[in-house]
């Protein structure tokens, strides 16, 4: 259990949120031209990082808005919270 | 040759106050080179090494383990064994394991306390009833024992269940696999370690893998905290840390690692002599030989390697347990813990070669790997030794995520993932 600082609502309990998996996976622009390998890469393959990972979260029991987060998956420490469409923080 | 464990060896050692028992496995320093190296000294990894030595005559092999053997998910699971899976591929895989379980204590000369006390899966709504009946039929077509029970039969089999129609999710029926049950998790790791050690396998503990050395498309060895080990075949059985090892080799896997929690109560007298699982309300319970209730909770939905889960997951499980078993309302919980499980998108495992020659992965067991330990080891050993899968694990190759031929056990497994 940890606290998440929703960019729209402020600090709330993690149980109010839904994790949406790895962030910054870009939807293919030309889906019809993708090979099976490229589809597998887009749909299934994940970095699954032990360390700082960029991920999407949704405040489903609050404002219901999506946002991004940088979180250390080895100890659940949140490093940064940033809005959808923004670039991931460098540090 | 190790001394056989028996009533006679027990009596003999009693005379020397049990101070002269032979060590069950040695603590060797790693050699410079092995024929094959297994990364991960849990049940699956030790079983893989055991069958490589026993069935494929590969004796010059090692198991490297970051911590101590059986200290990861092998020691953290809820020890349930069953094979009542829906799809043919899964049924073949898990029943292969169950058949090995049935003779495992004798084979290893090590009591793994395999207890075929039955596993019951409950239905709480009309869709559950239909799904479970379908699964019962599918199981029987695959030669796996399964019966469907109505509410009265469920109550008769496990009298402490609250079968009142007035609870939030009433019990409408259930399935029963009588051959299913539990085993002692530590004993499985220790038994395989002892057996593998006897055949000459080096079990190297406190040895963390730091890198995988490649030469083009072949593996050359592993960098560890105890130095470089040369080998042409690497079998990775690292459970929640599979992606971490894969990244070292420049591979990406279709896995997400998440915390899965379990808890045990204070020990009490025998009260539940079977395993009862409920998919819809996500609660399952059995009783250990020590008398503790062993309760499995669910996974969190975020990636984490912290071996800690969220409290609301435990709370949800205990709510469900209390509604199904009001008799437990005053039980106190003794311990709670988390393990990191690696989950595939289709909730089925990967026992497979990879695009890198000599690199094999046995991963993706998610929330249900313990039951498969002997079968997983046997089939993984076959895959490593022959560089080809056995027919029972051919469907569980890594390429299924490209071809689309998934083994979708998400809803079909006995507990929601």
Which residues in chain B touch residue A49, judged by CB atoms under 8 angstroms apart? 243, 247, 303
Asked if pLDDT for residue B12 goes beyond 90, the answer is yes
Stretch B76-91: mean pLDDT = 95
Other CB atoms within 10 A of residue B70 CB: 23
Confirm if B366 and B414 have CB atoms less than 8 A apart. Answer: no
CB contact under 8 A, A44 and B306: no
Structure tokens at A69: 């987060």
Asked if pLDDT for residue B271 goes beyond 60, the answer is yes
CB contact under 8 A, B243 and A47: yes
Confirm if B370 and B77 have CB atoms less than 8 A apart. Answer: yes
Output the CA–CA distances (angstroms, integers) from residue B265 to B79, B274, B313, B332, in the order listed: 15, 16, 17, 6
Other CB atoms within 10 A of residue B253 CB: 25
A74 contact B CB<8A: yes
pLDDT > 90 fraction of chain B, expressed in percent and rounded: 95
Query: What SS3 state is found at B3?
Result: coil
Confirm if B30 and B202 have CB atoms less than 8 A apart. Answer: yes
Full set of structural domains in chain A with CATH: 3-83 (3.30.2270.10)
pLDDT at B1: 64
The DSSP 8-state label assigned to residue B241 in this structure reads G
Measured between alpha carbons, how far is B344 from B240 in angstroms, rounded to an integer? Answer: 11
Whole-prediction pTM: 0.96
Which residues in chain B touch residue A50, judged by CB atoms under 8 angstroms apart? 241, 243-244, 257, 305
pLDDT 10s digits, B359-384: 999 999 999 999 999 999 999 999 99
Mean pLDDT, rounded, of chain A: 95
| Exposure of B413 in the CB half-sphere (CA atoms within 13 A) | 23
Q: Quick one: pLDDT band at residue A63, thresholds 50, 70, 90?
A: very high
Name which of B243, B402, B403 is nearest A48 (Cβ-Cβ): B243
Q: Which of B289, B275, B306, B287 is nearest to B371 (CA)?
A: B275
pLDDT 10s digits, B151-187: 999 999 999 999 999 999 999 999 999 999 999 999 9
Asked if pLDDT for residue B130 goes beyond 60, the answer is yes
- CA of A84, closest CA in chain B: separation in Å? 18
Q: Quick one: pLDDT band at residue B282, thresholds 50, 70, 90?
A: confident
pLDDT at B417: 43
CB contact under 8 A, B256 and A55: no
A33 contact B CB<8A: no
CB contact under 8 A, B304 and A39: no
ipTM score of the complex? 0.95
Asked if pLDDT for residue B256 goes beyond 90, the answer is yes
Confirm if B221 and B116 have CB atoms less than 8 A apart. Answer: no
β-pair partners for B150:
B173
- CA of A73, closest CA in chain B: separation in Å? 5
Beta-carbon contacts of B134 under 8 Å, excluding residues fewer than 6 positions away, are B86
CB contact under 8 A, A50 and B345: no
pLDDT at A89: 87
Confirm if B75 and B212 have CB atoms less than 8 A apart. Answer: no
Measured between alpha carbons, how far is B297 from B313 in angstroms, rounded to an integer? Answer: 7
Confirm if B83 and B141 have CB atoms less than 8 A apart. Answer: no
Interior angle at CA B359, CA B353 and CA B360, nearest 5: 45
**Residue with the two structure tokens 């420049």:** B250
CB contact under 8 A, A48 and B401: no
Mutate which of B248, B402, B403 to test chain A, going by most A C-beta atoms within 10 A?
Answer: B402
3-state helix, strand, coil in chain B (%, to 5): 30, 25, 45
Mutate which of A35, A44, A69, A75 to test chain B, going by most B C-beta atoms within 10 A?
Answer: A44
Considering only alpha carbons, which residue of chain B is nearest residue A75?
A: B306
Mean pLDDT, rounded, of chain B: 95
B243 contact A CB<8A: yes
Q: Quick one: pLDDT band at residue B2, thresholds 50, 70, 90?
A: confident
Which residues in chain B touch residue A37, judged by CB atoms under 8 angstroms apart? 402
């Amino acid at each position: 259990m940890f606290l998440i600082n929703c960019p729209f609502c402020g600090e709330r309990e993690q149980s109010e949120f839904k994790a949406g998996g790895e962030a910054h996976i870009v939807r293919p622009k030309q889906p019809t031209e993708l090979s099976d390998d490229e589809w597998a890469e887009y749909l299934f393959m994940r970095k699954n990082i032990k360390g700082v990972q960029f991920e999407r979260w949704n405040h489903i029991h609050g404002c219901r808005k999506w946002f991004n987060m940088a979180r250390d998956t080895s100890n659940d420490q949140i490093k940064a919270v940033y809005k959808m469409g923004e670039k991931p923080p460098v540090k | 040759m190790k001394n056989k464990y028996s009533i006679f060896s027990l009596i003999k050692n009693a005379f020397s106050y049990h101070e002269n028992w032979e060590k069950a496995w040695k603590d060797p320093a790693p050699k410079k080179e092995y024929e094959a190296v297994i990364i991960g000294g849990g049940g699956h990894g030790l079983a893989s090494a055991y069958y490589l030595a026993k069935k494929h005559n590969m004796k010059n092999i090692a198991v490297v383990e970051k911590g101590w053997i059986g200290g990861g998910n092998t020691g953290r699971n809820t020890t349930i064994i069953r094979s009542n899976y829906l799809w043919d591929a899964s049924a073949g895989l898990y029943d292969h394991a169950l058949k090995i379980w049935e003779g495992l204590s004798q084979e290893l000369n090590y009591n793994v306390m395999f207890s075929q006390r039955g596993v019951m899966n409950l239905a709480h709504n009309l869709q559950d009833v239909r799904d479970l009946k379908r699964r019962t039929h599918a199981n029987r077509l695959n030669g796996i024992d399964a019966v469907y029970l109505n509410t009265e039969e469920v109550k008769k089999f496990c009298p402490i269940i609250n079968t009142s129609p007035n609870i939030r999710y009433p019990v409408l029926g259930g399935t029963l696999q009588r051959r299913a049950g539990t085993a002692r998790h530590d004993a499985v790791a220790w038994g395989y370690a002892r057996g593998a050690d006897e055949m000459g396998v080096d079990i190297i503990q406190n040895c963390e893998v730091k890198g995988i050395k490649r030469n083009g498309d072949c593996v050359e060895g592993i960098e560890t905290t105890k130095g470089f080990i040369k080998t042409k075949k690497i079998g990775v059985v690292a459970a929640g840390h599979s992606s971490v090892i894969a990244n070292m080799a420049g591979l990406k896997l279709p896995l997400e690692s998440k915390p899965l929690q379990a808890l045990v109560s204070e020990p009490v007298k025998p009260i539940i002599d079977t395993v009862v699982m409920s998919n819809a309300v996500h609660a399952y319970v059995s009783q250990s030989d020590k008398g503790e209730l062993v309760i499995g909770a669910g996974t969190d939905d975020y990636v984490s390697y912290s071996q800690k889960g969220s409290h609301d997951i435990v709370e949800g499980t205990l709510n469900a347990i209390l509604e199904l078993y009001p008799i437990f309302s005053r039980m106190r919980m003794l311990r709670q813990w988390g393990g990191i499980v690696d989950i595939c998108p289709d909730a089925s495992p990967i026992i497979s070669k990879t695009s890198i020659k000599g690199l094999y992965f046995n991963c993706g067991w998610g929330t249900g790997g313990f039951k498969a330990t002997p079968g997983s080891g046997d089939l993984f050993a076959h895959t490593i030794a022959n560089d080809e899968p056995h027919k029972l694990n051919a469907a569980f190759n890594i390429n299924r995520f490209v071809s689309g031929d998934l083994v979708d056990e998400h809803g079909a497994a006995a507990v929601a993932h």
